[in-house]
Amino acid sequence: MAKIITLAELKKHTGAKDLWIAIDNKIYDVSKFADVHPGGEQVILEQGGSFATEVFEDVGHSTDARELMKDFYIGDLAEADHEKKSSK
């Protein structure tokens, strides 16, 4: 069973050495990936401690990138905190 992580906990992890992001309500610890991120470290640091789904999808990440994400998965966002889809 996946670890359940609250939004409050996610928001605590915003530094380069302690960097978590949420994509599709799954939490990833990308601390060891930020400095080798192909788009640059700053891009991923800006998303630290927050929902990064929209930014991730806008870039159009490859299948390989999506596979690589599995290595950094640490848990699921608590259901009460799930990212709300905008109704644009």
Domain with 24 in it: what CATH number? 3.10.120.10
Rounded to whole angstroms, how far apart are CA atoms 34 and 17? 9
Starting at the edge strand that comes first in sequence, how are the strands of the sheet with 14-15 ordered?
Answer: 4-5, 73-77, 26-29, 18-23, 14-15
The reply to whether 88 falls in a domain is no
Range of the domain at 10: 4-78
- Whether residue 10 lies inside any domain: the answer is yes
What is the Cα–Cα distance from 71 to 1, expressed in whole angstroms? 16
pLDDT at site 86: 44
Structural domains of the chain, count: 1
59-78 pLDDT, tens per residue?
Answer: 888 888 889 999 999 999 99
**Tokens 């930014």, residue located:** 55
User: Which two tokens mark 44?
Assistant: 């991923």
**62 falls within a domain:** yes
Q: Write down the pLDDT at residue 85.
A: 54
pLDDT digits over 31-51, tens only? 999 888 888 889 999 999 999
pTM of the model: 0.88
